[in-house]
Structure 1
Amino acid sequence: MTDQHPALLAAERRAHVLAALERDGAVRVAQLMDELGVAPVTLRRDLAQMEREGLLVRVHGGAVPAANGLDESDPAGARSRTGSIAMLVPSLSFYWPSVVRGAEAEAAQLGMRVVLRGASYELQDERPVLERLVHTEGVRGLVVAPNTDTPHAQDVVQWLAGCGVPSVLVERDAVVLPEGSPVENVTTDHALGAVLAARHLASLGHRRVGLIIARDSPTSRKIAAGWQAACAELGLTPADHFETSLPPRTSPDFSAVVDAALDAALSNSVTALVVHSDPEAMAFVDLALNRGISVPGDLSIIAYDDEVAELFTPALTAVSPPRGAVGRAAVDLVARRLEDPARAVHRVVLNPTLNVRGSTAPPRGA
Structure 2
Amino acid sequence: MRIVLLGGGTGGHFYPLIAVAEALEELTRERTLIEPELYYIGPEPFERTALLEHEIAYIPGAAGRLRRYSSIFNVLGLFATAWGICTSIVQLYRLYPDVIFSTGGFAAFPSLYAAKLLRIPVVIYDADATPGRVSLWSSKFARWIGVAHPEAAARFPAAIRDRIAHIGHPIRKEIETPAKEGGHEFLHLDTSVPTVLVMGGSQGAQVINNAIIDALPQLVSSYNVIHQAGNANIDEVDKLAKLVLRDTSHEERYRPFGLLNALALRMAAGVANLVVARAGSGTIFELATWGTPAILVPIPEDISHDQTSNAFSYARAGGAVVIEQHNLTPHVLFAEIERIIKDPARVAEMSQAAKKFARPQSARKIATVLLDVALQHEPV
TM-score bracket for the superposition, by shorter chain length: 0.3 to 0.5
> TM (normalized to structure 1)?
0.38
- Between structures 1 and 2, the one with greater helix share: 2
The alignment's TM-score, normalised by the length of structure 2, stands at 0.37
